[in-house]
Amino acid sequence: MWPVLNPFNDYGRRIEEQIRPASYPLAIKMLRSLDEVPGNAERPKRDYGACLSTCQCFSLSRKFGKTVAQLFEDMWCPEPVIGLGLAEPPSYFFEGKTRYPDGVSSVEAGANWAHEFPRFKTGEYIGVASAPLRTATFEPDVAIVYCNSAQLLKLLLGIAYKDGRDITTVLGGHSACVYSIVPSLLKGECQVSVPCRGDRGYAGAQDDEMIFTAPKKKIEELTHGLEQRGTSNLPTRFTMAPEYRLSTGYAEIARQMGQKRADGSEIMGYNEKERLLYLQYR
């Protein structure tokens, strides 16, 4: 049994129980000074004798349970260096030349991407730390969950439980480590992102995985929402039955709009016993 060092460790355990992910949900902390580097953190250059990409550090945390801190000298991929604000981006980047000619149709298209690339102000942070949420010795700035589409569905329903609002997200095909951290932390809102080619090719992200991010202030809210009966179960039950029984609310709005069964009869919702069964097995 792992010790609970802060409330976020318990949130990590509860999130795992609700969505059963293939790897640990991550606690991610942006580091402002050397004093914030976790004492138990491994450092790529010092401890491995090599630089690593940020997605590789995250993979060590989510797949093997390691706490890893990465500063500028530990970085291999240049995009998180720019996105996390660890160095000033060169003009070559903003001119679009990192994308053209292999990834976009013109340098102008590459420049569009570069200028819209989410990033922190240069010098605001000196590095980033990652660890499993359930064992992290620090409080995270964001929690990151690698998940499949069914787990993502439950996460989206869970975060909407409190206020009923959907999330607005920024999707890009590059730099998953940046897109999973920067927009969420800048806006203070949840974010969905896609594992990039580097994450897949060098850090083991799978083809069925997506990434869900919750900022610190939303992690407790997400955890509570996931535990409510109406926010889906895993695995999801499946039926192809026509004219299946609708929930009470769905049946009511269907009736008010004039919808009917194919034989012309009234649409009926669940009775109370059926409603409880629906919530239990949905």
230: pLDDT strictly greater than 90: no
169: pLDDT strictly greater than 80: yes
Q: Are 218 and 159 in contact (CB under 8 A)?
A: yes
87: pLDDT strictly greater than 90: yes
Q: Report the chain's mean pLDDT, rounded to a whole number.
A: 94
1: pLDDT strictly greater than 60: no
Report pLDDT digits (tens) over 105-128: 999 999 999 999 999 999 999 999
Both tokens of 74, joined, read 């530990």
- Cis peptide, bond prior to residue 235, ω within 30 of zero: yes
189 falls in which pLDDT band (50, 70, 90)? very high
Give residue 18's pLDDT.
96
Instruction: State pTM to two decimals.
Output: 0.92
**Residue 158: Cβ within 10 Å count:** 25
Give residue 89's pLDDT.
96
The full DSSP string for the chain is: -----SHHHHHHHHHHHHH--SSPPEEEEEESSGGGS-TT-B-IIIIISS-B-HHHHHHHHHHH---EEEEGGGB-SHHHHHHTTSSPPPHHHHTTTTTTTTTSSSHHHHHHHHHH---PPTTS-SEEEEEETTT-SS--SEEEEEE-HHHHHHHHHHHHTTT-PPP-----SS-HHHHTTHHHHHHTS-EEE---HHHHHHH---TT-EEEEEEHHHHHHHHHHHTSTTS--SSPP----TTPPBPHHHHHHHHHTT---TTSPPP-B--HHHHHHHHHH-
86: pLDDT strictly greater than 60: yes
Both tokens of 244, joined, read 């299946």
- In DSSP terms, 53 is beta-bridged to none
Strands 127-132 and 26-31 turn out to be antiparallel
Both tokens of 152, joined, read 């993502």
- For the chain, give the percent of residues with pLDDT over 70: 96
At residue 17's C-alpha, the angle toward residues 13 and 18, to 5°, is 120
Give residue 277's pLDDT.
67
Give residue 180's pLDDT.
98
Across the range 160-177, mean pLDDT stands at 95
61: pLDDT strictly greater than 60: yes
Least confident range from 3-7, 85-89, 208-212: namely 3-7
Report pLDDT digits (tens) over 18-54: 999 999 999 999 999 999 999 999 999 999 999 999 9
265: pLDDT strictly greater than 80: yes
Which amino acid type is present at position 11? Answer: Y
Least confident range from 24-33, 185-194, 250-259: namely 250-259
CA 143 to chain centroid, in Å, comes to 7
Both tokens of 187, joined, read 């806006």
Across the range 186-194, mean pLDDT stands at 97
Least confident range from 31-35, 70-74, 253-257: namely 253-257
Least confident range from 114-118, 161-165, 243-247, 277-281: namely 277-281
Give residue 204's pLDDT.
97
